[in-house]
Amino acid sequence: MAQRRSRRLYMQPDSVKVPLKPRQLHKLMAARAESTAEGVDSITSNVQALDVNRDSTPRAISVCFGQGDPLAFYVRSLLQESQWFPLTLDNTYALADCDAKGCIKRRSRFQLVQAKAFESPSGETHVVYLCSCEAAQEQQVRLSSTANAITGEDLQDFAVREEGLYCLHARAAKQIITTSARVEEEDEGSDDENVDQLQTSPFLAAAHDGETYGILKRIGEGGRLCCMMCSSRQMSCSHVETYKEWCRDRGVDESVVFTAADEPTFESVSKSSIPYPWTKDMREKFDRYDEKLEIFPQHLVPDVPSGTCSHGNDWDHRDPVSQKWVQHTGVTIYTRYTTIVGHPGPDGQRQPRVVYYRPTVGNCRCRHLYDGTADLLHNLDNRTMLFFGLLVDYLHSMVQGYQPLRTTQRECNQTRSTCSFTKSIPWEKLRQGWNSWARRLNIDWNEVYTCRSCGTEPKTIICDGTAIGFRKDFLHYQAAPEDQPEMPVVCGSKHCHRVFVNCAKSRELLLRYSAEKRSRTGKELRKCTLGISDEEMTDLQCKLAQANRGDLVALLKRLHQEGHTTRAPPEYSTFLSEVARSTPVCGMVQIAGDRDAIDIMRKVAEGKIDLTNSRFFKYCGYVQKKAPVLTDFLCSVTKAGHIPPDISTLVLSLMTVLTQTFKEVEKPSPDCYPAPPAPSYLSFFPTLRQLCGLPRYAVEEASKPRAKDSCRKESYGHPSLTPGLFTVFCPHGVCYGFEAMRSCESPRHPFEILRTRFKVAPRVVVYDNACQLHRYVMNREPHFFQKTVFLVDRLHFKGHVGCSLGYSMNSYAAAVDISTLNSQVNEQANAGLIRIQPQLAYMRPANFMFHTSLFLAVKNMLVRGIGQEDD
């Protein structure tokens, strides 16, 4: 298919241009759905107000409300039934068709809406939604033929006129997808997919034939593909052919896509393990083949195995060639550049290659077949052999160049058709050969998935999820865990006991006084120039006194007397904003497991240590590494070797809250933990095997709503693929394992890995949602994680504006082990996984897990230097 220049929609918030990729639109959908729901909440109240008798059908109710507000009802139906889909190319969206009343049609009809940005001479843009329905045909034809430029009229007049012509589908798309947008061109050769799998049951897919999209469904008992967008040749149109070609490229039978299927078996005659990296003898053999000093033998003879056959008979040592123990005559050998079907004879004529077998000396019919490893040949079926060089070349192309196997086949066959007359490599032979050969590789998984410096249990880990999954319909059913009422319940700490100010209104006023104010969305903090009024200061002190925070009241009174009536002085601003957050004290000052650091802080508060005095440089350096936020504040308020009395009291109170957080929680006994469950086929941690199961947690027995001002990691899954992988790396870039997630990424995934697979919790955990992970573990296992420092990686912390600086890696500049840590090692590795997603996404689970583990194993070898020759 010819390359096209595609156009992609971009979001433009606060003058920052970020590509709005189709699968990221689920985030936009969720946000937009919330605002849209406000406009259609009256629908719900009307439903409740109806006196609907038992004979009333949902269809009748739908028609009733469609008559009230078709647009609101249509938008609500699209969102609730998930019947709109962002497609990969051309900023196109598929919306379920509806009638004039806004009721979704039940015959799987869809309309395509394209978001197209038009630019005025002044550079302003406006997005117009063009629909494929008959009512919008004139507008689509007219605007599709323009150059996306507005000339001769004002942008506002253009927008009003065109939006007035919208059909119901375009109006609904505007409500769901609305964003400040512009269109930019992508480079040719984009790796965008021309097929989108939309849903599994019923089957829906979108296929782009190079010009237009088609929406495909299955009809009849045989599940034949049918295009809903074409008026003729619906079962053989270009969209159906595009989808079939897409399936063939991935080795998927288009007739069984999205149906239950067993795991494929990849069998071959060759069974012996293959050293990887290769041994010296194998490398020398390869060089002799490459330099034409040696060719593949004509007679492919099996060796004499040690031991006996399964019946206890010895193997016959005689020569199979002289005994004519022929298994097959006419072997085909496939290499990277040629297909070898014969062997040069002494008279110049090409003779067929013959593969032999070796019998036993007994009466059984056991045969020892030719393995081929000594000749660097993979014996697929005694008729077809694949050269190791071809297969290892693809392995490295997959790891380094992210090249699919189908592309390798096409390259090899294109070379053959251009440079020789030899026959092409059949796809099924190459696919079967690669998969069976790769499973013969002798890889020491325990060694490869272990860092030489970090050992079997790394003290510092960087973990994250990546959106690379397989088809959801391939997931095995997993029954819910059985209740174990006889098991004791493990209690964690309560959030109200961990925070310093346990009053939301007080925290809001204190943030304002510190010159920072939380916005309504709770997602950002804005500098406040007005501070708080005298009445609000009085109210703040009153609320703090009621919350038993007299230490803060004393500080505020002193600052007020010093003239800081509306805003705190600069040296107090950061500290007051820290104690005013909902972050626990053990998050702001992560020294709960370090008694030395706690003792130093108490002595500083008692006036026994002056952090600004060079005599105490050792103590200052120590706490600067462990608790930088508090240390910086104490140094800034120290005057003439002393800190104010109210600050002393405040620091002692902080240390009390810090220690009481753990003292008030009973440490669970080992009897609380069940035995580890059976190994999951969705997890791969060679050296981190499960040591125990998870107990019953009190916080899960009585679930509590999420705090309004907490940070959340948004996850928006693919409609037909599993959420992705959760990977664990050490600071040196070695992957320790991964897990295929069944549900969207959440703190529970790293928690389960850390609690069930580590004997001792890591000293440092870097995670892009570490703030929520810390809260999660404190609700369940505070003692196990008491000595763990939770950090948000540098790239993502700028989005955690509501979190304490205690989670920021940049705060720990004095701690060399943290300041020099590459917090993006996981993101960088996951970027490679994302590149191989197209070839993994539609594999079955076992094949998916194998290829992922193989990919990461080779990457680990490169990091560890295994198999690399010395310079």
- Domains of the chain by residue range: 7-185, 205-246, 274-442, 448-481+675-864, 495-663
350 phi/psi in degrees, rounded to 5: -85, 130
Q: Distance between CA atoms of 344 and 352, rounded to whole angstroms? A: 9
Average pLDDT, stretch 639-658? 93
Q: CA-based Rg of the chain, rounded to a whole angstrom?
A: 33
**Closest-CA residue to 166 (of 116, 193, 215, 130):** 130
pLDDT value for 224: 83
Q: Distance between CA atoms of 830 and 438, rounded to whole angstroms? A: 22
Q: Which residues contact 503 (CB under 8 A, 6 or more apart)?
A: 543, 544, 546, 547
Angle, helices 168-177/70-80, rounded to nearest 10 degrees: 60
Terminal alpha carbon distance of the chain: 44
pLDDT value for 283: 96
Read off the tokens for 571: 């040296």
pLDDT classification of 197: cutoffs 50, 70, 90: confident
Question: How large a percentage of the chain has pLDDT more than 90?
Answer: 49
**Closest-CA residue to 557 (of 527, 580, 529, 534):** 534
pLDDT value for 812: 92
C-beta separation of 8 from 184 below 8 A? yes
- Residue 574, classified by CB atoms within 10 Å of its CB into exposed (0-12), middle (13-18) or buried (19+), is middle
pLDDT value for 543: 93
Residue 525 scores a pLDDT above 60: no
> Tokens 């059908």 — which residue?
57
C-beta separation of 808 from 583 below 8 A? no
598-622: buried (b, 16+ CB within 10 Å) or exposed (e) per residue?
bebbbebbeeebbbeeeebeebbeb
pLDDT classification of 26: cutoffs 50, 70, 90: very low
pLDDT value for 717: 60
The distance from CA 144 to its chain's CA centroid, rounded to whole angstroms, is 36
**Closest-CA residue to 552 (of 515, 579, 512, 518):** 579
Residue 22 scores a pLDDT above 80: no
Dihedral angle sign, alpha carbons of residues 618, 620, 621, 623: positive
Task: Measure Cα distances from 133 to 108, 172, 174, 654 in Å.
Answer: 15, 13, 16, 65
Q: Distance between CA atoms of 248 and 710, rounded to whole angstroms? A: 46
Mean pLDDT of the chain: 83
Q: Distance between CA atoms of 699 and 705, rounded to whole angstroms? A: 11
**H or E stretch at 849:** helix 845-864
Average pLDDT, stretch 560-573? 90
> Tokens 């939301």 — which residue?
504
- Taking the CB of residue 444, how many other CB atoms lie within 10 A of it? 12
pLDDT value for 458: 95
pLDDT value for 529: 46
- Taking the CB of residue 561, how many other CB atoms lie within 10 A of it? 9
Q: What is the pLDDT of residues 270-286, one digit of tens each?
A: 999 999 999 999 999 99
Q: Which residue has the higher pLDDT, 715 or 561?
A: 561
Read off the tokens for 756: 């069930």
DSSP-assigned beta bridge partners for residue 227? 216
| Segment among 428-437, 465-474, 787-796 with least mean pLDDT | 465-474
Inter-residue long-range contacts of 478-482, CB under 8 Å, 24+ positions, other chains counted: 478/742
Residue 42 scores a pLDDT above 60: no
The distance from CA 318 to its chain's CA centroid, rounded to whole angstroms, is 58
**Closest-CA residue to 732 (of 620, 859, 644, 852):** 859
pLDDT value for 622: 94
pLDDT value for 91: 83
pLDDT value for 482: 62
Fill in the DSSP letter of residue 102. S
| Segment among 53-62, 142-151, 528-537 with least mean pLDDT | 53-62
3-state secondary structure of 121: coil
> Tokens 């940070």 — which residue?
711
Q: What is the pLDDT of residues 834-866, one digit of tens each?
A: 888 888 888 889 999 999 999 999 999 999 887
**Closest-CA residue to 181 (of 140, 125, 131, 130):** 125
Q: Distance between CA atoms of 51 and 32, rounded to whole angstroms? A: 31
pLDDT value for 105: 82
Q: Distance between CA atoms of 863 and 871, rounded to whole angstroms? A: 16
pLDDT value for 409: 93
- Taking the CB of residue 105, how many other CB atoms lie within 10 A of it? 11
Average pLDDT, stretch 634-649? 92
Parallel, antiparallel or unpaired: strands 384-387 and 92-96: unpaired
Q: What is the pLDDT of residues 601-637, one digit of tens each?
A: 999 999 999 999 988 999 999 999 999 999 999 999 9
Q: Distance between CA atoms of 670 and 517, rounded to whole angstroms? A: 45
- Taking the CB of residue 673, how many other CB atoms lie within 10 A of it? 18
Q: Distance between CA atoms of 731 and 463, rounded to whole angstroms? A: 10
pLDDT value for 376: 97
Q: Distance between CA atoms of 730 and 459, rounded to whole angstroms? A: 8
C-beta separation of 671 from 488 below 8 A? yes
Q: Distance between CA atoms of 430 and 522, rounded to whole angstroms? A: 55
Q: What is the largest distance, in Å, between two alpha-carbon atoms of the chain?
A: 111
Q: Distance between CA atoms of 413 and 426, rounded to whole angstroms? A: 9
Average pLDDT, stretch 10-28? 41
Q: Distance between CA atoms of 390 and 413, rounded to whole angstroms? A: 13
| Segment among 93-107, 160-174, 541-555, 610-624 with least mean pLDDT | 93-107
DSSP-assigned beta bridge partners for residue 684? 738
pLDDT value for 11: 38
Average pLDDT, stretch 659-673? 92
C-beta separation of 517 from 580 below 8 A? no
Residue 802 scores a pLDDT above 70: yes
Inter-residue long-range contacts of 87-90, CB under 8 Å, 24+ positions, other chains counted: 87/22, 87/112, 87/196, 87/206, 87/208, 87/213, 88/22, 88/192, 88/193, 88/194, 88/196, 88/208, 89/6, 89/192, 89/194, 89/208, 89/213, 90/6, 90/7, 90/114, 90/208, 90/213
Residue 36 scores a pLDDT above 70: no
**Closest-CA residue to 652 (of 640, 660, 641):** 660
Fill in the DSSP letter of residue 595. H
Q: Distance between CA atoms of 353 and 375, rounded to whole angstroms? A: 14
**Closest-CA residue to 255 (of 243, 242, 269, 239):** 243
| Segment among 154-168, 774-788, 818-832 with least mean pLDDT | 818-832
DSSP-assigned beta bridge partners for residue 386? 334, 378
pLDDT value for 140: 87
Average pLDDT, stretch 490-503? 91
| Segment among 323-332, 690-699, 705-714, 851-860 with least mean pLDDT | 705-714
- Taking the CB of residue 774, how many other CB atoms lie within 10 A of it? 29
pLDDT value for 352: 93
Q: Distance between CA atoms of 808 and 581, rounded to whole angstroms? A: 15
The three state secondary structure string of 632-667 is: HHHHHHCECCECCHHHHHHHHHHHHHHHHHHHCCCC
pLDDT value for 815: 86
Residue 268 scores a pLDDT above 70: yes
Fill in the DSSP letter of residue 115. E
Torsion of CA 161, 164, 169, 174, to 10 degrees: 70
C-beta separation of 695 from 487 below 8 A? yes
| Segment among 257-266, 352-361, 809-818 with least mean pLDDT | 257-266
Average pLDDT, stretch 533-541? 91
What is the pTM (predicted TM-score) of this model?
A: 0.71
Q: Which amino acid is at 790?
A: F
pLDDT classification of 37: cutoffs 50, 70, 90: very low
